[in-house]
Amino acid sequence: AAEPWPENATLYQQLKGEQILLSDNAASLAVQAFLQMCNLPIKVVCRANAEYMSPSGKVPFIHVGNQVVSELGPIVQFVKAKGHSLSDGLDEVQKAEMKAYMELVNNMLLTAELYLQWCDEATVGEITHARYGSPYPWPLNHILAYQKQWEVKRKMKAIGWGNKTLDQVLEDVDQCCQALSQRLGTQPYFFN
């Protein structure tokens, strides 16, 4: 944990042009932004099977030294263990608020994106299926896309979003964006 940040740290995500979906792109951007804000160099590498390479099955993941860490939460903790942190200046109440707003974004926006990508028939047909399976030959592209769709639908049903209509989801997104807008106000960043 005391080793310095190596120069060859890499971030893996899916293919940017043809394959990556909105939700995964968002997660990857978040990690890239975080590392940039900490002034840590990172090289972005695109691989078609990034999802399967990741230790937790989720993208993005970073390869630093001889360690592989995936998803924003664990990456932030990992970077903190190396001595870089963006939230040192916050007091306890602000840290609580920060975590709460992060969960709001995860809970509402990410779930809404997943819903739009995988449960809205129009989007699924036009964009998601085609993009998700694009690096693979037939019939693998269809099988993987259907499998992923089934997984996401199961998850939506478990958290109670299975019966939501598109309008309700959009209303939730609107509410979430309003909340974030209120919190940001006219400041350049959320906490200063």
The footprint of other proteins (CB under 8 A) covers 56-58, 92-93, 95-97, 99-101, 103-104, 106-108, 154-155, 158-160, 175-176, 178-180, 182-183, 185
CB of 182 to other proteins, least distance (A): 4
Residue 50 CB partners (closer than 8 Å, separation 6+): 12, 13, 14, 59, 60, 61
Give me 15's structure tokens: 């293919």
Nearer to other proteins, 33 or 100 (CB): 100
N-term to C-term CA, the chain: 29
Nearer to other proteins, 102 or 130 (CB): 102
Nearer to other proteins, 11 or 51 (CB): 51
CB of 102 to other proteins, least distance (A): 8
Angle at 61 between CA 11 and CA 52, to 5 degrees: 115
Nearer to other proteins, 90 or 130 (CB): 90
Amino acid of residue 178: Q
CB of 191 to other proteins, least distance (A): 13
Q: How far apart are CA 66 and CA 9, in angstroms?
A: 10
